[in-house]
Structure 1
Amino acid sequence: MRSKAGTYGGLSLAQRQTDRRRQLVDAALDIWGEQGWAAVSMRGVCAHARLTDRYFYESFADRDALLVAVWDQVRDETIARILRAIHSKLGEGPMTQLRAAIAELVEHLGDDPRGAALLFGEHTGSAALEQRRQQTLQQFTDLLVALAQPYLRPGADPVELRMSTLIGIGGFVELINAWRAGILATDAGHIIDHTARLGEVLAAQYLAGQ
């Protein structure tokens, strides 16, 4: 129902546009999680969201723009979850914080297969997603390196710290992919314990008192 100028059903034009964009992103995430990114199409997303084509182009220039928006949303939510887990353990030492971050991520991926399919799935064939994947790898590396700074021993080599962090993250991605594919017959708790122990091994040469 239209009320004052620019509003309909109690929502402004900007609010309705925001809602429609959210519907499109959620629809794309549903399709992506079930069938992979290549199955995401403008028409399929619009049909899933029950919106017409014109509303797609209200928010996105093309399919790549939508795919990137979906990726960014899941990445940002994932980073926020990790930071909350880390902050909940402030004052308990870097290894406790790292374990909390690993546990939060592994458990969340188990509960949210859509997000797991997006961040850990195959992106070959999409230049936009491959660029986002590489950027995200660097963002997670930057995050862990920055969080380690207060705990580093004097003279810790920053380049080697970054290399070790990249190795750790890359290995973790492959571990999760193998787990999701059923190659590893184990559970989330075992993944968390093993990854946390390896994190301690990698961190020992850089952290004070390790």
Structure 2
Amino acid sequence: MATGRDYRGMTAEQRLADRRQRLLHAAYTLFAGAGFTTTTIERLCAAARISNRAFYECFSGREDLMRAVYDHCVEETMLAVSKAIGEAPPDPDSRIEAGITEYISFVTRDVRRARIMHLEVRRAGEILSMRRQRAVTGFTEIIEDAVGELPVGLPGRKHLLALGMVGALQELLIEWVLAERQPPLEHLVETAVHIFRRSFGS
């Protein structure tokens, strides 16, 4: 009589979760390396050591897998940044500097994360457009919350300034990913903090 377990003692649900995790890990490396547009399902399955049929039990296609990888990168980064801001001194300048430092440090700790979040997200085009916009909105809200009240003379501009700060961070990370000689991370942090202080008048 069937028990619902394979020779490793895993349930059907556990096998599915294991295959999904292996695909996510394979995609994390391949999408960041060869790139999303050139990575085939066959190559993903070979790297994950599963069949093509098993792939479609986990994801509806490459696009679905790419969204899952990108979402995971963004969620991890948001948690790290929010934690750093929460542990910083309460003044806006310290909170934003802590958030910027953690964002750059966390994203670049694994170049695969940096490439997926700042390069492959653009190369994927419409596949990730809504996910990217949601991520931009999330990081913008984190900055707005950390800043609090703006200095006199900048009424009604907090959202736009925070949005511009997110854009500046993204472009700095793209430069870091693509540069033959990567600029030191402390230079990225110093530049981003300078942009923040000039923009928000702190």
- The TM-score by the shorter chain falls in which range? 0.7 to 0.9
2:168 to 157, 162, 171: 171
| Distance apart, 1:115 and its partner CA | 0.6
Identity percentage of aligned residues:
26
- Hey, what does 1:13 align to over in structure 2? 12
- Hey, what does 1:28 align to over in structure 2? 27
| Distance apart, 1:32 and its partner CA | 1.0
When residues 185 and 50 of structure 1 are mapped into structure 2, their CA distance, relative to the original with a 3 A threshold, is: closer
| Distance apart, 1:154 and its partner CA | 8.2
- Hey, what does 1:52 align to over in structure 2? 51
When residues 127 and 63 of structure 1 are mapped into structure 2, their CA distance, relative to the original with a 3 A threshold, is: same
1:201 to 189, 192, 198: 198
When residues 183 and 31 of structure 1 are mapped into structure 2, their CA distance, relative to the original with a 3 A threshold, is: closer
- Hey, what does 2:91 align to over in structure 1? 93
Give the alignment of 1:121-136 within 5 angstroms.
121-122=119-120, 123-124=122-123, 126-136=125-135
| Per-residue CA distance 1:81-125 (angstroms, 9 max, x = gap) | 111211221x44222121122112212233211011101104245
| Distance apart, 1:180 and its partner CA | 2.4
2:117 to 115, 119, 124: 119
Give the alignment of 1:103-118 within 5 angstroms.
103-118=101-116
Structure 1 residue ranges without an equivalent (≥5): 205-209
Matched residue type, 2:110: D
| Distance apart, 1:162 and its partner CA | 0.8
Cα distance between partner residues in 2 of 1:199 and 1:46:
44
Cα distance between partner residues in 1 of 2:103 and 2:110:
10
Structure 2 residue ranges without an equivalent (≥5): none
| Per-residue CA distance 1:149-191 (angstroms, 9 max, x = gap) | 4x55689634x11111111111221122123222776311121
Cα distance between partner residues in 1 of 2:79 and 2:146:
14
Cα distance between partner residues in 2 of 1:168 and 1:174:
10
1:188 to 156, 160, 185: 185
Q: TM-score, normalised by structure 1?
A: 0.84
Higher mean C-alpha displacement, 70-79 vs 174-183? 174-183
Superposed CA RMSD: 2.4
Matched residue type, 1:181: L
Contact 1:124–1:130 under 8 Å retained in 2: no
When residues 154 and 199 of structure 1 are mapped into structure 2, their CA distance, relative to the original with a 3 A threshold, is: closer
